[in-house]
């Protein structure tokens, strides 16, 4: 390993050792608080355009296996850890973390004080950053960071290029792919759904022509307000009376389509230990989350949406449902991957809603 730097847009420089790939891109530096699940994190397309830092100190100890991917072509721009294990020990391990990062062209940085960086981001908020080789012109790079903009085309980068089926004999579900995790597909397939995965820019008319029993709006990266065309089509689907279930970005897009607003969180929710309360039942679930934006609670007042779930850490909106149409959504990930499966029953609620609406 050779010395590698992490440079932040405010001029802070952190010295560490490089591993993985050796070419770098500017990205939004974010942190994930999960103690495990780094393979799922790396392959979660919602991290497109971001440099992910894990707060748990030892990462890579169980290697990379064939089963736990959430996508086949990861979109993360970098990976930062305190200690990267180069000798994984697990019966399912196929390669080391370093080998995987090299294979997927993701630069890594280790032996940095991730606790100090996390405390900084919690204070200042997420910011642009880039890795660089030792000896670089730091002042020039900081200037580039300050002048650069965040990406606005992440969903286009990660969505399916054209529709494709995953056949079964159950309910016909159209999955709008904004960067869908494999976990969502696994849960729908487990319930024998006849899936058709469609690109992010599929029109409402094209979806309605497929005569689905329901529509799933997936997770995905970026600012939901960048998805203006999709918001228009989702509004059409809602007003058509389609059964719709939204997850993460899908939740935000439903809210925007119904007239609500979204806001950027200071440092987001990324991890698998976030408590959320169901406002109707009072039940608390520990959830897996990965998002930097949230629905504004105040903006729900003049819409046909009501809040159904609330985050217990910062009181933000974690779920909504429509008062007139069969539409509901959650900000967190009921499919987990990684994380607890406390909220997995939401997929059953989706199945029940499709059945009841069919009668």
How far apart, in Å, are the Cα atoms of 266 and each of 123, 257, 269, 270? 9, 24, 9, 12
CB atoms within 10 A of CB 56: 17
- CA–CA distance, 193 with 335 (Å, rounded to integer): 15
Domains and CATH numbers, the chain: 3-150 (3.50.30.20), 155-358 (3.40.50.880)
Which residue positions in the chain have pLDDT lower than 70?
Answer: 359
What is the per-residue pLDDT across 85-117, written as a single tens digit (0 to 9) for each? Answer: 999 999 999 999 999 999 999 999 999 999 999
User: What pLDDT is recorded for position 358?
Assistant: 82
Q: Is 335 a catalytic residue?
A: yes
> How many CB atoms sit inside 10 A of residue 302's CB?
9
- Chain centre to alpha carbon of residue 272: 12
Residue in the structure block whose two tokens are 């939004």: 28
Query: What per-residue confidence (pLDDT) applies to 359?
Result: 64
pLDDT score recorded for residue 77: 98
- pLDDT above 90 covers a percentage of the chain that reads 99
The residue from 111, 251, 274, 333 that is catalytic is 333
Supply the pLDDT for residue 269.
98
Q: Output the DSSP codes for 221-244.
A: -S-GGG-HHHHHHHHHHHHTT--E
Task: Confirm if 180 and 45 have CB atoms less than 8 A apart.
Answer: yes
Which of the residues 48, 248, 258, 272 is marked catalytic? 248
Question: Which of the residues 28, 70, 233, 335 is marked catalytic?
Answer: 335
121: left (phi over 0), alpha (psi -120 to 50) or beta: alpha
48 is catalytic: no
Q: Write down the pLDDT at residue 40.
A: 98
Handedness of CA 310, 264, 14, 100 (dihedral sign): positive
Nearest Cα residue to 78 out of 99, 56, 48: 48
Catalytic residue status for 193: no
């Amino acid at each position: 390993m050779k010395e590698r730097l992490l440079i932040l847009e405010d001029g802070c420089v952190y010295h560490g050792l490089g591993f993985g790939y050796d070419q770098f891109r500017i990205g939004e530096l974010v942190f994930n608080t999960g103690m495990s699940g780094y393979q799922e994190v790396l392959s979660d397309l919602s991290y497109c355009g971001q440099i992910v830092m894990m707060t748990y100190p030892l990462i890579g100890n169980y290697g990379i296996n064939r089963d736990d991917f959430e996508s086949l072509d990861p979109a993360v721009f970098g990976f930062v850890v305190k200690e990267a294990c180069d000798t994984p020990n697990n019966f399912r391990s196929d390669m080391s973390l370093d080998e995987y990062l090299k294979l997927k062209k993701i630069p890594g940085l280790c032996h940095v004080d991730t606790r100090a960086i996390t405390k900084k981001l919690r204070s200042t908020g997420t910011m642009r950053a880039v890795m660089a080789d030792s000896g670089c012109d730091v002042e020039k790079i900081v200037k580039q960071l300050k002048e650069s903009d965040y990406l606005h085309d992440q969903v286009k980068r990660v969505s399916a290029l054209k529709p494709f089926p995953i056949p079964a004999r159950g309910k016909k579900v159209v999955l709008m792919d904004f960067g869908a995790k494999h976990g969502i597909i696994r849960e729908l397939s487990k319930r024998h759904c006849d899936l058709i995965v469609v690109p992010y820019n599929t029109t409402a008319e094209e979806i309605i022509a497929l005569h689905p029993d329901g529509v799933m709006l997936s997770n995905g990266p970026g600012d939901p307000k960048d998805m203006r065309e999709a918001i228009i089509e989702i509004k059409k689907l809602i007003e058509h009376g389609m059964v719709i279930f939204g997850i993460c970005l899908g939740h935000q897009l439903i809210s925007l389509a119904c007239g609500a607003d979204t806001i950027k969180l200071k440092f987001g929710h990324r991890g698998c230990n976030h408590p959320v309360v169901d406002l109707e039942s009072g039940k608390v679930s520990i959830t897996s989350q990965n998002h930097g934006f949230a629905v504004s609670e105040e903006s729900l007042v003049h819409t046909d949406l009501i809040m159904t779930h609330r985050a217990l850490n910062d009181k933000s909106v974690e779920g909504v449902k429509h008062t007139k149409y069969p539409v509901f959504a959650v900000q967190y990930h009921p499919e987990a991957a990684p994380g607890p499966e406390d909220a997995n029953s939401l997929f059953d609620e989706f199945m029940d809603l499709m059945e009841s609406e069919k009668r």
